[in-house]
Amino acid sequence: MKIKTYPEATQELRKIAAFCKQQWGIEIAHRLIETYQRNKKRLSSNPYMAPIEPLLANREYVYRGLVIHKYCK
C-alpha cells in the first residue's frame, strides 16, 4: 500500500517537531520523527493494523489513522 502524506500534514509534523525541539531538545524531536517514519513504513506494509478514520469513512479513498504517541495521531 502506498501512503500519501498531504502537505498540510507534513507542515504540522514540522511544527510539532520544532515545538519538541524547543521544549525538550533535538534528541526528542528526532525521536518523534523517527517514530513517525517507522510507523508510516509499518502501516504501508500492514494497512489493516490501523483503524479506518470514522469521520472520513464515506470518502472515495480509505483513510486510516495510526497513533504514534498518545498525543499525536
What global pTM score does this model have? Answer: 0.74
Structure-block grid coordinates of residue 61: 479513498
pLDDT in tens, 2-11: 888 889 989 9
Classified as helix, coil or strand, 25 is coil
HSE of 40 in the Cβ direction (CA atoms, 13 Å)? Answer: 13
Gap between the Cα atoms of 39 and 65, Å rounded: 11
Q: How many CB atoms lie within 10 A of CB 16?
A: 17
Q: What is the pLDDT of residue 24?
A: 96
